[in-house]
Amino acid sequence: MSTAVPAEASAAVLQPSEPISDSAISVQGPDLEKKLSLQELLKSYERIGFQASSLGRAIDIVNRMRKWRLSDQPISVDESEDYLSPEIRAQTRCDIFLGYTSNLISSGLREVILYLVKHKHVAAIVTTAGGIEEDFIKCLGKTYLADFNMDGADLRSRGMNRIGNLVVPNDNYCKFEDWLLPILDTMLAEQQATGEVWSPSSFIRRLGKEINNEESVYYWAYKNDIPVFCPALTDGSLGDMIYFHSFRNPGLILDIVRDIRALNELSRKSKKAGMIILGGGVCKHQIANAMLIRNGADYSVYINTGQEFDGSDSGARPDEAVSWGKIRADAESVKVFADATLVFPLLVAATFAQD
């Protein structure tokens, strides 16, 4: 019997490697023998691999959004006179468009989002109806931790509404109706007196003023003049209340055309634009589509669990948006495949909260 290793087997197993580039980054996790700060720990994510590295990349991109100033760029030959002053150029920052789904306001991410709005870290918000109403409802009653496996029929009989592993007493929605309907009456009266109809964003701004509660995201959006867009404003409890109101006091008008113009113009006029989008659906695509008006976003961070095999926009990676002109070909972008409640607090702690 031959003692020689078969040449074809040896060649297959012991395939030689190409030389490694000097710029290649080796995989390495955090050294927990050392006492690491949160910043040091999150910095180590860049070299862990998989979604940890994607989060590290997202942190880097967000910090680049925050750091950018128009003064970093040379003055173009067709620059507007409004942007020739060195002082103005130094003050002109990247406009950050934040999008999120309603469940994130139901969760404790509401407080993280509130921090960003309170401290004027974002230029505009796009969310869904639940992302609006749940903020106000939390000012009127609490949402509670529960379990994903609770019986739906039993919860229904007890007047408890489940959102994942959270529950909201249905009484909170009754309180919301009691609070909202008189405001709708007033808004209708103002519309009839002035002839000026409402848009979803002006509607949300008014509710932010009326709630007058520093625990509300949209109170701070009102205070800081940050526009909040909600293309699907009627898709939730707000829609239920507007529906009820249309019987008892009909005539309230919400003009979505004003809002699409306002959002698209905000995008078009941005000297630099970045997207941070948590989740998918309306909030993701409405921001991305607004970026098309300016030939794409300059920075993009997606955080969601969606997959692209079914062709959904929610699951699409940034490169698909590049093909549509919604993200620029030379943009810095990343998708973090993760539950936003796990990673977004870490991202904000490593970026905006460092101010």
- In this structure, the strands spanning 166-169 and 144-145 are antiparallel
User: What pLDDT was estimated at residue 160?
Assistant: 98
Mean of per-residue pLDDT scores for the chain = 97
pLDDT one-digit tens code per residue, 332-355: 999 999 999 999 999 999 999 998
User: What pLDDT was estimated at residue 131?
Assistant: 98
pLDDT one-digit tens code per residue, 109-140: 999 999 999 999 999 999 999 999 999 999 99
7 pLDDT above the threshold of 80 = yes
User: What pLDDT was estimated at residue 214?
Assistant: 98
Residue 289 phi/psi, 5-degree rounding, is -70, -35
User: What pLDDT was estimated at residue 237?
Assistant: 94
Q: What is the average pLDDT across 14-33?
A: 95
What global pTM score does this model have?
Answer: 0.96
Residue 309 C-beta-side C-alpha neighbours within 13 Å = 2
pLDDT one-digit tens code per residue, 245-275: 999 999 999 999 999 999 999 999 999 999 9
Percentage of the chain beyond pLDDT 70 is 100
Q: Which pLDDT band, with edges at 50, 70 and 90, does 2 fall under?
A: confident
**138 has catalytic annotation:** no
User: What pLDDT was estimated at residue 355?
Assistant: 84
User: What pLDDT was estimated at residue 313?
Assistant: 94
User: What pLDDT was estimated at residue 27?
Assistant: 97
User: What pLDDT was estimated at residue 1?
Assistant: 77
Q: What angle do CA 266, 268, 269 make, to 5 degrees?
A: 70
- Of 121, 123, 111, the C-alpha closest to 268 is 123
Question: Where do we find the tokens 């002006």?
Answer: 202
pLDDT one-digit tens code per residue, 204-219: 999 999 999 999 999 9
Q: Where are the beta strands (DSSP E) in 74-136?
A: 95-100, 124-127
DSSP 160-206: EEEETTEEEEHHHHHHHHHHHHHHHHHHHHHHHHH-PPB-HHHHHHH
Least confident of 79-83, 131-135, 151-155: 79-83
- Is the Cβ–Cβ distance between 267 and 227 less than 8 Å? no
Point out the catalytic residue in the list 138, 284, 326, 335.
326
What's the burial of 317, exposed, middle or buried (CB within 10 Å: 0-12/13-18/19+)?
Answer: middle
Residue 132 phi/psi, 5-degree rounding, is -90, -60
Q: What is the average pLDDT across 37-54?
A: 97
> Distance between CA 348 and CA 39 in Å, rounded?
11
